[in-house]
């Protein structure tokens, strides 16, 4: 009974409802990542280990592409992955305010599961009016999302020898998943405007900034404009 109660703390119906849009995106995206891993010579076990240790879609795809090129050193792969995922520092600092009473052991486990998607879902849940979202449920979202990512990567690697996938499709899958997550905010006009603005800004900066920095800069600028607009509306 105690074990069932413990599991229900992390993996209840509310958590499943929150994480399913992430699953819909991770299954095809992770599958494609597994196929790519197979093409560069990784075994299913190695692919699963990489997915466990590097839970970052864009970072993992870039690392695999660099490994496939054959000329990149381990240092360059690690540094590139680090730069691509610098935005996770912003995610962690934002969510930290909701996890002030959590233990260091919990925070270490939780931090491993922070991605664009889990951040968006957890922040949305934490900021909902009259929400009972807590640290356990947030960790449940991270763990379930991570498990799906590992599963889909390993599955993609296993069938990689017989399945041919156009990797260009991956970008459309990722975009569709983000639009689905963004739709949670469609009831707030300001958030819709900020989302559209950040999208156009990111596209404009993509030809100027490399290593996904255009996403970080666009996010910071759009968030700043959104905060300023919200403050102005409140004062008015």
Digit-by-digit pLDDT tens for the chain (236 residues) are 444 555 667 678 888 988 998 998 888 888 888 888 888 888 999 999 999 988 887 778 778 877 776 666 777 777 777 776 777 888 888 898 888 888 888 888 888 899 888 998 999 888 887 778 888 899 999 999 999 999 999 999 998 877 776 656 655 655 665 676 567 666 678 778 888 888 888 889 888 876 566 777 887 788 788 878 877 776 66
- 61 and 116 part of one domain: yes
- Among 107, 142, 144, which residue's Cα sits nearest to residue 123? 142
- 214 and 139 part of one domain: no
- 69 and 17 part of one domain: yes
**Per-residue pLDDT at 223:** 78
What is the C-alpha separation between 174 and 20, in angstroms, rounded?
15
Residue 21 lies in a domain: yes
- 69 and 112 part of one domain: yes
- 117 and 8 part of one domain: yes
Asked if 223 and 194 touch (Cβ cutoff 8 Å), the reply is: yes
**Per-residue pLDDT at 181:** 59
User: What is the C-alpha R_g of the chain?
Assistant: 19
pTM: 0.70
Residue 141 lies in a domain: yes
**Per-residue pLDDT at 1:** 44
What is the C-alpha separation between 224 and 82, in angstroms, rounded?
24
What is the C-alpha separation between 159 and 156, in angstroms, rounded?
5
Torsion angle (degrees, nearest 10) of CA 210, 226, 197, 122: 70
- Measured between its terminal Cα atoms, the distance across the chain in Å is 54
Residue 117 lies in a domain: yes
- 62 and 125 part of one domain: yes
What is the C-alpha separation between 99 and 56, in angstroms, rounded?
22
Residue 170 lies in a domain: no
- The per-residue DSSP string of 48-67 comes to HHHHHH---HHHHHHHHHHH
Residue 180 lies in a domain: no
Burial 142-154 (b: 16+ CB within 10 A, else e): bbbbbbbbbbbbb
Residue 25 lies in a domain: yes
- 156 and 81 part of one domain: yes
Asked if 67 and 181 touch (Cβ cutoff 8 Å), the reply is: no
Residue 174 lies in a domain: no
What is the C-alpha separation between 200 and 41, in angstroms, rounded?
38
- 148 and 200 part of one domain: no
Number of domains in the chain: 2
- 229 and 113 part of one domain: no
- 157 and 234 part of one domain: no
- 28 and 131 part of one domain: yes
Residue 177 lies in a domain: no
**Per-residue pLDDT at 8:** 65
**Per-residue pLDDT at 171:** 55
- 154 and 234 part of one domain: no
3-state secondary structure of 111: helix
Q: Which domain holds residue 146?
A: 2-164
């Amino acid at each position: 009974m105690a074990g069932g109660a413990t599991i229900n703390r992390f993996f209840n119906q509310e958590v499943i409802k929150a994480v399913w849009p992430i699953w819909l995106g991770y299954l095809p995206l992770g599958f494609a990542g597994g196929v790519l891993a197979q093409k560069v010579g990784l075994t299913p076990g190695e692919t699963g280990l990489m997915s466990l240790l590097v839970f970052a879609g864009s970072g993992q795809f870039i690392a695999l592409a660099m490994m496939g090129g054959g000329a990149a050193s381990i240092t360059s792969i690690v540094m590139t992955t680090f730069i691509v995922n610098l935005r996770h520092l912003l995610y962690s600092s934002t969510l930290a305010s909701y996890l002030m009473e959590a233990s260091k052991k919990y925070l270490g486990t939780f931090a491993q599961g922070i991605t664009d998607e889990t951040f968006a879902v957890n922040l949305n849940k934490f900021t909902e009016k009259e929400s009972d979202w807590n640290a356990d449920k947030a960790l449940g979202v991270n763990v379930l999302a991570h498990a799906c990512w590992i599963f889909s990567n390993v599955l993609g690697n296993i069938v990689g020898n017989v399945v041919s996938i156009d990797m260009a499709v991956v970008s459309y899958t990722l975009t569709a998943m983000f639009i689905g997550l963004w739709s949670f905010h469609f009831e707030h006009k300001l958030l819709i405007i900020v989302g559209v603005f950040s999208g156009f800004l990111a596209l404009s900066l993509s030809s100027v900034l490399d290593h996904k920095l255009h996403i970080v800069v666009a996010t910071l600028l759009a968030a700043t404009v959104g905060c300023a607009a919200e403050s102005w509306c409140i004062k008015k």
